[in-house]
Structure 1
Amino acid sequence: MAHTASIAIIGTGFAGLGMAARLKRAGFHDLTLFEKADDVGGCWRDNTYPGAACDVPSHLYRLFGEGFTMTEADMDLYRRSYLGDHGSATDPRISPLLADDLSGVAPAYISTAGFDVLRDEGEVYARRLELAGVPVTLLRTPSLAHSAINVPGICPPARDALLAAAESIRSALASGTDD
């Protein structure tokens, strides 16, 4: 069944490309993908996604490393998969928190969850961006675990976090500016 909705997908990382593929399979064909960079790949191309410090696990890996949606073992697997045989976790292109200068990085909306191994890395990254003069919005939802934003239909705080992110994107698109 073909649908007629016009859909904008912001970002061409794994999530954006995956969403486009799923929507096409579901019959949605009027899709536009927006990417600020010159090429697809999103956060795994530029790694501006928290874990922004791949070189050393944060203390939250121990605190939230078991019993929540993303475990310390998951993070170890992701780190090994991402770095492969040639990547260095101390390279600022892989661990942007290690970069000397973050000025010029794209404006950011960073949403963190209270019970998440990546929470502190995301929040430190937001502070570093802000100190570098990069427009940044940071929202922490204390009651959520990593990935809870994927269940907005059954979790009101996840719905609120998702709506806040959508509003930030809507506002940025409507203003025609990068922030």
Structure 2
Amino acid sequence: MTPAGGALVWTASSEAGEDELDIHISATHLIDPAFSPTGGAIVLAVSIVRPDSIGTVRLSSRDPKVAPVIDYNFLTGSRDLRRMVEAVKLSRRIGRNELFGRVADSELLPGDQVTDDELDQIILDNLGSYEHPTSTAPMGGDHDEWAVVDSEGAVRGVEALRVVDASIFPEVPSTATNLTAIMTAEYIFQRVYGK
């Protein structure tokens, strides 16, 4: 489908904190055309942008060529699955709007016949990621037991080593990580080198 197009919606779930926009819906056509009986589809991809769930990254070997063990631990936080179900229901309402009806043939996934009661398992079976992992080596103060780096990206307990990327974010940001990582790098560069 051309031209490429997309749209973004940030909104608050029923469990959002004050001034928190914790649900993200991205509308795009980026899907394998073979998945659709018409050869085209619009995806209303949803996510929880401030998850409660916390994953882990662990070394599997002392050999730096061996990949680490990564457990995203998706939707294990107490509110995460409920908020994701709410986001999927909202995206389904958007997709069923009469304006979409003019261009949409049917709902492919989870499908027109799926009930709200079946959504939990369907979500868990089809879960993916935007592949913007963060916060695996978080920045923090001297007394923060979880902090891997200080406010200038210096790795605690290791001389002459800094980490300046999305892994040092102390919390998962509710936005794409590209500009946030650039801003963090520029801030640290200026603090360290005064430029």
> Normalised by the shorter chain, which TM-score bucket?
under 0.3
Greater relative contact order: 1 or 2 (C-alpha under 8 angstroms, separation 6 or more)? 1
Q: Give the structure-2-normalised TM-score.
A: 0.23
Q: Give the structure-1-normalised TM-score.
A: 0.25
Larger C-alpha radius of gyration, 1 or 2? 2
